[in-house]
Amino acid sequence: MNVLVTGGSGYIGSHTCIQLLAAGFNPIIVDNLCNSKKAVLKRIKQVSGSTPTFIQADVRDKAALVAALSEHNIEAVIHFAGLKAVGESVEKPLEYYDNNVNGTLVLVDAMREAGVKRLIFSSSATVYGDPASVPITEDFPTSATNPYGRSKLMVEECLTDFQKANSDWSITLLRYFNPVGSHPSGELGEDPQGIPNNLMPFVAQVAVGRREFVSVFGNDYPTKDGTGVRDYIHVMDLADGHIAALQKVGPKPGLHIYNLGTGNGHSVLEMIAAFEKAAHRPIPFKFVDRRPGDIAECWADPSKAQTELGWRASHTLDAMVNDSWRWQSTNPQGYSDQ
């Protein structure tokens, strides 16, 4: 079965392509390379033995999408393409709404024209805003505190309305918690451009000597050790969640919503300590002020995905940090080979 993967050369998309190939699917990537490099394709080949078809195009280019969907007999689309930096979204809201919201609308319009009716969308735990309690189930109220989060929420709402009006479509919203880790081969991983916004790539760059210390954003939260607590999930588990969704609910018309998380919360200090163990070296850190907009704690109740998709995260925290370190230590500058 041919699957169009928008944003397939990015962090989560590239790992999902590997798992798609392993499960017998044929991924066709559409990516404009605004936050990834073509070198990823060589790494996918190294790991899986196959190079996915790659189309360099923007998801806002409807003609290119209709052509890709029709020429490759696509049966389902996994839509990763989008911008994802919260801070940048505050500076450049128009770019975020255009890429994330308009990009999705153009994609769905192209799918409609090409007669493709199965879509899996990369949503985020950010749509839960500041949750009243943890763990978070899919029926918690949603809200947003920044343009990135609002763009995810808007897309969820647009897709919900669209599915209501087009009941023969299967639309799946996957709400990811905090993806970390790398392919166990060390060939693929997260390669942020500039200063990493997220904790784990920052920690990895400190470990490898690219940065001096980690700034820990706040040590006065009402949590186990005062630092923020999150549900970190191995990117390979996340990738497998897409395969499970494709197989289990892809063929079923309806709107399907799942949390993809582990159900466990780890603090910033626990993550740093785990990484120190993996890298066999101290990771210097300093406590600084809280980051505006951050919440104290957030973790998933992943039982709906377990019951309905037969999926559950299986990688341990040690696997997350060991794999992340293997990638970072063997590729200290990321995909520098272009």
**CA distances to 31, 72, 171, 288 from 75, in Å:** 18, 9, 13, 49
Whichever of 226 and 253 has its CB closer to ligand WQD, that residue is 226
Interaction between residue 197 and ligand WQD (CB under 6 A): yes
**CA distances to 190, 217, 329 from 284, in Å:** 21, 14, 17
Q: 11, 97, 148, 258: which one is catalytic?
A: 148
Name the minimum Å distance from CB 168 to ligand NAD: 25
- What sign does the CA torsion over 179, 104, 68, 57 have? negative
Interaction between residue 62 and ligand NAD (CB under 6 A): no
User: According to CB under 6 A, which one of 3, 4, 5, 7 is a site residue for ligand NAD?
Assistant: 7
Burial class (CB in 10 A: 0-12, 13-18, 19+), 8: buried
Site size toward ligand NAD (CB under 6 A) is 27
Interaction between residue 231 and ligand NAD (CB under 6 A): no
| Segment lying near ligand NAD (by CB under 6 A), choices 2-10, 239-247, 261-269, 283-291 | 2-10
219 and 268 in contact (C-beta within 8 Å)?
no
Interaction between residue 198 and ligand WQD (CB under 6 A): yes
**CA distances to 115, 116, 177, 255 from 252, in Å:** 16, 14, 25, 9
C-alpha 72: how far from its chain's center? 25
Name the minimum Å distance from CB 227 to ligand WQD: 6
Interaction between residue 150 and ligand WQD (CB under 6 A): no
Element (H, E) at 29: strand 26-31
Name the minimum Å distance from CB 199 to ligand WQD: 4
**What is the spatial distance between Cα 198 and Cα 48, in angstroms, rounded to a whole number?**
28
**What is the spatial distance between Cα 243 and Cα 301, in angstroms, rounded to a whole number?**
20
Interaction between residue 331 and ligand NAD (CB under 6 A): no
Interaction between residue 126 and ligand WQD (CB under 6 A): yes
Task: Name the residues that contact ligand WQD, by CB under 6 A.
Answer: 84, 86, 124, 126, 178, 197-199, 202, 214-217, 228, 230, 268, 291, 294
Task: Name the residues that contact ligand NAD, by CB under 6 A.
Answer: 6-7, 9-13, 31-36, 58-60, 80-84, 99, 103, 122, 124, 176, 179
